[in-house]
Amino acid sequence: MSELEQAFHDLVIANRILAHQSVVDAYGHVSMRHPTNPERFLLSRSRSPELVEERDIMEFTLDGKVVGDDRRPPYLERFIHGGIYEARPDVNGVVHSHAEETLPFGISETPLKAVIHVASSIGATVPVWDISEKFGDNTNLLVVNQEQGRDLAKRIAQGRVALMRGHGFAAAGATIQDVVRLSVYLPVNARVMSAAMSMGKFKPLASGELESRGHFNPKAPESFRAWEYWARRAGVGHLLGAMP
Amino acid sequence: MSELEQAFHDLVIANRILAHQSVVDAYGHVSMRHPTNPERFLLSRSRSPELVEERDIMEFTLDGKVVGDDRRPPYLERFIHGGIYEARPDVNGVVHSHAEETLPFGISETPLKAVIHVASSIGATVPVWDISEKFGDNTNLLVVNQEQGRDLAKRIAQGRVALMRGHGFAAAGATIQDVVRLSVYLPVNARVMSAAMSMGKFKPLASGELESRGHFNPKAPESFRAWEYWARRAGVGHLLGAMP
Amino acid sequence: MSELEQAFHDLVIANRILAHQSVVDAYGHVSMRHPTNPERFLLSRSRSPELVEERDIMEFTLDGKVVGDDRRPPYLERFIHGGIYEARPDVNGVVHSHAEETLPFGISETPLKAVIHVASSIGATVPVWDISEKFGDNTNLLVVNQEQGRDLAKRIAQGRVALMRGHGFAAAGATIQDVVRLSVYLPVNARVMSAAMSMGKFKPLASGELESRGHFNPKAPESFRAWEYWARRAGVGHLLGAMP
Amino acid sequence: MSELEQAFHDLVIANRILAHQSVVDAYGHVSMRHPTNPERFLLSRSRSPELVEERDIMEFTLDGKVVGDDRRPPYLERFIHGGIYEARPDVNGVVHSHAEETLPFGISETPLKAVIHVASSIGATVPVWDISEKFGDNTNLLVVNQEQGRDLAKRIAQGRVALMRGHGFAAAGATIQDVVRLSVYLPVNARVMSAAMSMGKFKPLASGELESRGHFNPKAPESFRAWEYWARRAGVGHLLGAMP
């Protein structure tokens, strides 16, 4: 199988995992940087992630323009993806989600912190991007042009994720497996922190622990273990590539 | 397919989506204004929404009287629907639900506010209708006559939804797709606001944001995207009309 | 079908509904008074409610003795059922459950009140039975003899339900449909009250409203509607009797 | 069937139950002491519990070394199991889990107490093991060598379970059925205590009650009842041994 064919498989798997794990519903989307052309990214046409198939995948330039004469309606918020890929050459997968558990932290003054080891990659504190800071109170909160996508990417900076006030989150990963994993555990971390707060003081991960967790290795057995598990539960085990 | 045939399909889809999304259980119901006779509305016989089929649909005048000699037992609370259609010519779909997440706000002094963009149509603050204000403490809380239906509609006024104290909510939409969508995201908004409140101060949507979200366009790809997704998950994808 | 045959069907349906609605898991049980001999009651052998079939049903005298030479192990806590049937000739169905949502109220000083109309039959305030009040701190919390069953029944008094501290609840109904319905909505009421409390003051049902809800009519279309719905979801629709 | 064959069946059942009950996801694992050689334990290769089959089971010495020339990647954290088996000859089953409901108590100053009778075996107060106490702030929180496993086992002491700060819990049982049961009800107990706390004062189980609950008898009908139920729900009823 060619690298591009496996990329298409992986992007379908990512869509289905995120839907099955309730990270996305009819809304939210996941993209990957084109495996052989870093100036492009791959993203489904405007479709619910649970229904996405290979033939739904479209190709975009980093400023969100459709490549070729593909006339199918794209997601309005494809600029979230383009903005991040443009700013961060190290990023190869992006997720945008409205995951419910993260929303309270996006509208609250309480910062979301990493409190469990499976979510260590979110960093000590997750920044919040409020579209009204730069674009005023009269937007519909959606990221509908490259300027807004760039501003959001700036808030992520060298991190992995930003909450979007009243809207959801945008996350970035070295690989698509990496960003899917972060997107699954970010809501869990949010629920755990909320529950711990309601009982009083709590202890977030120490900075040494955040660093020691180090960089995600998608080829490690424990990484593939989760990707395989989530894919099988989501009914797309047959699209998995060879076991590393 | 005729307009009326598609209306019957859409009403069955709406019932199944609301059941599958846990907005209704054995109780709660959804109606639509008759597509060619605005003085009538369509609503299932007294049946759990998950089990509703086309042949269960009955026709009512706006004051809740059964049209024709249909002897099947109707819902006791059909006056919720009639009262709203009578007062609001712009409304073509109505939902009544006991959705658990909205109930705390109906009995609390804390007003429910729109905090997430997908629920912007509920308005800045959702009014609460307490049946005892006008009808005293000796009702069984049900809306069982047109006078009560009209009083509830008055509380909704030019808005989209009212909570019903100790009971649930009633929502109105320009189309049946519109009111189903609101009914799916209203409970999510309620959960998010509860969770944010428990952490301290929170920021609801700004009034400019509420206005900018503007009017729901059921023909937009992103609207059909959700309707299609929810219908397929609920097992009634085969009843969907042509893709817009 | 004879009255006894329908009783067996109804008892299987009740077991499956309670399991499917997560009111019981491996533990918890439901019984009915024998339809033609009020001095007996019917209850499964020691088996998880989701797995109960007609042939698992055993017959007991009101003091918890097995009728006939049935040697299969009965539930240890059959005395919950016997104690209530003995004290309350008006009761024909009993449920014992560990439903998680009710447990916090059983160990808390906060009394559980009826706050939603579908749970009005629980009464203004649900009493708590603490086994240690009469039987000391050295029990295993289980109701394992008729004396304990009678003491629990006394706490229910003329009501419908009592919470059991650190353990669950016991509920009584005029019919098996009635007590199943109460057992489904009691946990919902508990969650709603918890959530409302966390936001501040809340308004429970008024005493006039509790009375106006009146007596449950299992033959009304809106009662059968729920029984049918829950039975079909639990996969035992084929055991339903004729539609009233 | 030989004792070893039934052990393999039981270990697969345990994996599937824990996955199906959401005690583990892609991570977490369950082991059993070898039924005929107490110096060995059985544990799956690095695989998600929901996918574990008999052929995935590997054999280890108590210091976590693979027996034989099995080259398949083991779980990194097998030392949790070895550490406990080494310290506690009475223990024959061990579970490690990230169960979300227990995590808040692992990072909070609020101790987790037994509040419901089905969780009485966790003891009056569950100790918390914080890896940084002995191993500093620069670990990745994982238990990756025998020294760490031994330190964790020391925190469990003569008890049944310890929470692991920012990570999950480790539990020990006289049999695999025993530790699975504890692992299912520990999260329930945690949720109930959290909810009760949010309403004010609450009453944990009394020490006499903890003692009276006594030792778990896996051969009692009420023990097999749960094991059978959970196994059937998880789709592995065919692996169950003969009914006691």
Burial class (CB in 10 A: 0-12, 13-18, 19+), D190: buried
Task: Please give the structure tokens belonging to residue C93.
Answer: 């169905």
The band of D219, judged by pLDDT with boundaries at 50, 70 and 90, is: confident
Looking at residues C21-39, what average pLDDT do you find?
98
Give the count of beta carbons closer than 10 Å to the beta carbon of residue C85: 28
pLDDT, residue C214, reads 63
- When pLDDT is averaged across residues D68-85 and rounded to a whole number, the result is 97
Contacts of D67 by beta carbon, 8 Å cutoff, 6+ apart: D40, D58, D59, D60, D61
Report, as an integer, the average pLDDT of A60-86.
97
Average pLDDT in the C130-152 region? 97
Q: Looking up tokens 């309270």, which residue turns up?
A: A104
Structure confidence at residue B215 as a pLDDT band (50, 70, 90) = low
Neighbours of chain B (3+ CB pairs under 8 A): A, C
Average pLDDT, chain C: 95
Any C CB within 8 A of B67 CB: no
Within 8 A by CB and 6+ apart from A49, the residues are A15, A16, A18, A19, A24, A28, A29, A30
Contact B218, B137 (CB under 8 A): no
Task: State the pLDDT at residue C211.
Answer: 87
The torsion angles phi and psi of B52, rounded to 5 degrees, stand at -70, 135
Q: Do B214 and A98 touch (CB under 8 A)?
A: no
Residue with the bigger pLDDT between D149 and D221: it is D149
Query: What pLDDT is stored for residue C223 in this prediction?
Result: 86
Q: Over the stretch A115-155, which tens digit does the pLDDT of each residue have?
A: 999 999 999 999 999 999 999 999 999 999 999 999 999 99
Q: Is A50 on the interface with D (CB under 8 A)?
A: no
Percent of chain B with pLDDT over 70: 98
**What ipTM score was computed for the predicted complex, to two decimals?**
0.95
Given an 8 Å threshold on Cβ–Cβ distance, is A140 in contact with B209?
Answer: yes
Chains with 3 or more CB pairs under 8 A to chain D: A, C
User: What percentage of residues in chain A have a pLDDT greater than 70?
Assistant: 98
Three-state secondary-structure class, residue C5: helix
Mean pLDDT across A20-26:
97
Mutate one of A116, A120, A177 to test the D interface: name it (highest D CB count within 10 A).
A116
Among A75, A76, A100, beta carbon nearest to B188: A100
Using the predicted structure, report yes or no on whether residue B244 has a pLDDT greater than 60. no
Q: What is the DSSP string of chain D?
A: --HHHHHHHHHHHHHHHHHHTTS-SSS-EEEEE-SS-TTEEEEEBS--GGG--GGGEEEEETTSPBSTT--SPBPTTTHHHHHHHHH-TT--EEEEE--GGGHHHHHBSSPEE--SGGGGGG-SEE-EE-HHHHH-TTS-S---SHHHHHHHHHHHTTSSEEEETTTEEEEEESSHHHHHHHHHHHHHHHHHHHHHHHTS-B----HHHHHHH----TTSHHHHHHHHHHHHHTT-GGG-----
The mean per-residue pLDDT over the stretch B162-170 comes to: 98
Nearest chain D CA: its distance from C11 CA (Å): 19
pLDDT at D178 over 80: yes
| A219 interfaces chain D, CB cutoff of 8 Å | no
Task: Look at residue D241 in the predicted model and tell me its pLDDT.
Answer: 82
Q: Could C198 and D198 be called an inter-chain contact, meaning their C-beta atoms sit closer than 8 Å?
A: yes
Q: How many residues does chain A have?
A: 244
Taking 90 as the threshold, does the pLDDT of residue A95 lie above it?
A: yes
Segment D162-186 shows an average pLDDT of 97
Give residue-wise pLDDT tens across range D88-108. 999 999 999 999 999 999 999
**CB distance D47 to D72 below 8 Å:** no
Please tell me what DSSP assigns to residue C161: E
The answer, as to whether pTM is greater than 0.90, is: yes
**For residue C215, what pLDDT is reported?**
62
* Amino acid identity, position A52: V
Residue B112: what pLDDT?
98
DSSP H or E segment with residue A173? strand A168-173
Summarised one tens digit per residue, pLDDT across range B91-104 is 999 999 999 999 99
What mean pLDDT do residues C49-74 have?
Answer: 97
pLDDT for A212: 82
Identify the closest residue of chain A to D190 by CA–CA distance. Answer: A195
Query: Residue B223 and residue C205: Cα distance in Å, rounded?
Result: 39
Average pLDDT in the B125-141 region? 96
CA distance A186 to chain D (A): 12
Which ranges constitute the DSSP H helices of chain B? 3-20, 79-87, 103-107, 131-135, 146-156, 176-199, 207-212, 221-233
User: What pLDDT, on the 0 to 100 scale, is given for residue B177?
Assistant: 95
Write out the DSSP string of B55-76: GGEEEEETTSPBSTT--SPBPT
Say yes or no for a CB contact (<8 Å) between B140 and C213: yes
Q: What is the rounded distance in angstroms from the CA atom of residue B78 to the CA atom of residue B29?
A: 9
C73 vs D196, D221, D232: nearest CB = D221
Calpha distance D21→A196 (Å, rounded) = 22
**Residue D136, CA distances (Å) to A156, A208, B196, D104, D152 in order:** 30, 9, 34, 21, 14
The mean-pLDDT minimum among B102-111, C204-213, D45-54, D111-120 falls in C204-213
- C194, two tokens: 């918890």
- The β-bridge relationship of strands A40-44 and A29-33 is antiparallel
Q: Residue B26's closest chain C neighbor by CA? A: C226
Question: Is the pLDDT assigned to residue B216 strictly greater than 80?
Answer: no
Beta bridge partners of C30: C95
**Mean of pLDDT values over B191-198:** 96
Average confidence score pLDDT of chain A: 95
Q: How confident is the model at residue B243 (pLDDT cuts 50, 70, 90)?
A: low
Residues 6+ apart with CB under 8 A from A240: A9, A13, A227, A228, A231
- Radius of gyration (Cα) for chain C, nearest Å? 17
What's the pLDDT tens digit per position in B10-47?
A: 999 999 999 999 999 999 999 999 999 999 999 999 99
pLDDT tens by residue, B60-73:
999 999 999 999 99
Q: Is the per-residue pLDDT at B218 higher than 80?
A: no
Q: Give the pLDDT confidence score for residue B109 in this predicted structure.
A: 95
For the segment C152-165, the average pLDDT, to the nearest whole number, is 98
DSSP code at position A183:
H
- Under an 8 A CB cutoff, do B26 and C230 touch? yes
Residue C77 has what pLDDT?
97
Q: How far apart, in whole angstroms, are the C-alpha atoms of residue D96 and residue D124?
A: 20
pLDDT(D120) > 60: yes
Q: Among C26, C140, C198, whose Cβ lies nearest the Cβ of D212?
A: C140
Average pLDDT over residues B69-78: 96
Q: What mean pLDDT do residues A102-107 have?
A: 98
- Among C82, C55, C185, which Cα is nearest to C126's? C185
pLDDT for the residue D242? 74
Per residue in A218-239, pLDDT (tens digit) is 778 888 999 999 999 999 999 9
Separation in Å, CA A94 to CA A40, A161, A178: 13, 9, 10
Q: What angle do CA B105, B107, B108 make, to 5 degrees?
A: 60
Mean pLDDT of chain B: 95
**Nearest chain D alpha carbon to C196:** D199
Put simply, whether B115 touches A (Cβ < 8 Å) is yes
Residue with tokens 């229904």: A51
Task: Answer yes or no: is pLDDT of A162 > 80.
Answer: yes
* Residue B84 DSSP SS3: helix
CA torsion sign, C111 to C114 to C119 to C122? positive
pLDDT at D58 over 80: yes
Task: Mark whether B77 is an active-site residue.
Answer: yes
Please give the Cα distance from D117 to C168 (Å, whole number): 9
pLDDT at D214: 64
User: D223 at the C interface (CB within 8 A)?
Assistant: no
Residue B221 is predicted with a pLDDT of 82
Distance from CA of B86 to the nearest CA of C (A): 25
Nearest Cα to B201, choosing from B101, B103, B106, B113?
Answer: B113
Quote the CA–CA distance of D169 and D166 in Å, as a whole number: 10
Sole residue written with tokens 């693979």: D66
> What is the Cα–Cα distance from B236 to A8, expressed in whole angstroms?
28
